[in-house]
Amino acid sequence: MSLKDKKLGIIGTGKMGSALIKGICDSGIISSSDIYASDVYEVGLEKMRSELGINVSTDNIVTVSNSDILLLAVKPQILKSVLKPLKEQITSDKLVISIAAGVPLQEITKELLPGTKVIRVMPNIAATVAEAASALCPGPTVSMDDAECALEIFRSVGSAIIVQEKLMDAVTGLSGSGPAYIFPIIEAMADGGVYEGLDRESALILAAQTVLGAAKMALEYHAHPGELKDMVTSPAGTTIRGIRVLEERGVRAAFMNAVIAASQRSRELGE
């Protein structure tokens, strides 16, 4: 399946759904006139229709009937109730993509006709600024072409990779929850700058840009993080003094344990 001439339907236009719609429209991989969205909140739908030129409706059946690819961007606790009245309309020629956190492929396919193609995806909140980290898990009936289409959709709002479903809890603990681990770090770095005399706005800009720049180096240099650290760390300099404090406080162990704890909680919620 190629995205060329394909129509995309999105059920659910909350933060993630609307972020994906905007990213797809901005990238041009699917024309806005070929995008259909539905939700119960008419105000939000009308705003997207006027700003992006997409088709909107409060009726999910309209979205399903007009789509080749159906993206389910609803809360996990209402996914089954959303799918139940749509079962007969979601035919085997459609590709279904779910971003409902923690809902396994098996639970999704139970609500659909046998043989329906389903891909489970875990994006993160950075989709709102087109810098999401997304992991995709294709179901057994999904072709490579289908998976490539899904990758293209999620790469329009950041980076996307394919993983085995058994690793989705780890993805949730790492990239799904990860932005929340970084925001306190940015705040703490800015606090240090304020302590040393910087005004709050300047300190926040410097701290946030520092995190962004370090992340971009890690992605583009293809070097071990330790090598990148050494690029900044001169003998008896300022950086190694700061790193010593981080090591004494167990920052690396704390981050590892945060990812492990969040992953374990994801498994608990899926049981």
pLDDT tens per residue across span 98-134: 999 889 999 999 999 999 999 999 999 999 899 999 9
Asked whether residue 94 falls in the same domain as residue 184, the answer is no
158 close to 131: Cβ distance less than 8 angstroms: yes
| DSSP letter assigned to residue 219 | H
Asked whether residue 98 falls in the same domain as residue 219, the answer is no
Q: Is residue 3 included in any domain, yes or no?
A: no
**pLDDT at site 234:** 95
Boundary (domain end) residue, out of 122, 150, 168:
168
Q: What is the CATH number of the domain that holds 33?
A: 3.40.50.720
Domain assignment of residue 89, given as a range: 8-168
Q: Is residue 2 included in any domain, yes or no?
A: no
Asked whether residue 184 falls in the same domain as residue 151, the answer is no
**pLDDT at site 2:** 67
Q: Is residue 243 included in any domain, yes or no?
A: yes
Q: 271 falls in which pLDDT band (50, 70, 90)?
A: confident
13 close to 45: Cβ distance less than 8 angstroms: yes
13 close to 42: Cβ distance less than 8 angstroms: no
CA distance 211 to 195: 19
221-254 pLDDT per residue, tens: 999 999 999 999 999 999 999 999 999 999 999 9
Q: Is residue 1 included in any domain, yes or no?
A: no
pLDDT value at 54 more than 60 = yes
Query: What average pLDDT does the segment 137-160 reach?
Result: 95
Strand order from edge to edge, sheet including 132-138 = 55-57, 35-38, 8-11, 69-72, 95-98, 117-122, 132-138, 158-162
**pLDDT at site 3:** 84
Computed on alpha carbons and rounded to an integer, the radius of gyration of the chain in Å comes to 21
**pLDDT at site 1:** 57
**Amino acid in position 255:** F
Asked whether residue 187 falls in the same domain as residue 111, the answer is no
Asked whether residue 155 falls in the same domain as residue 214, the answer is no
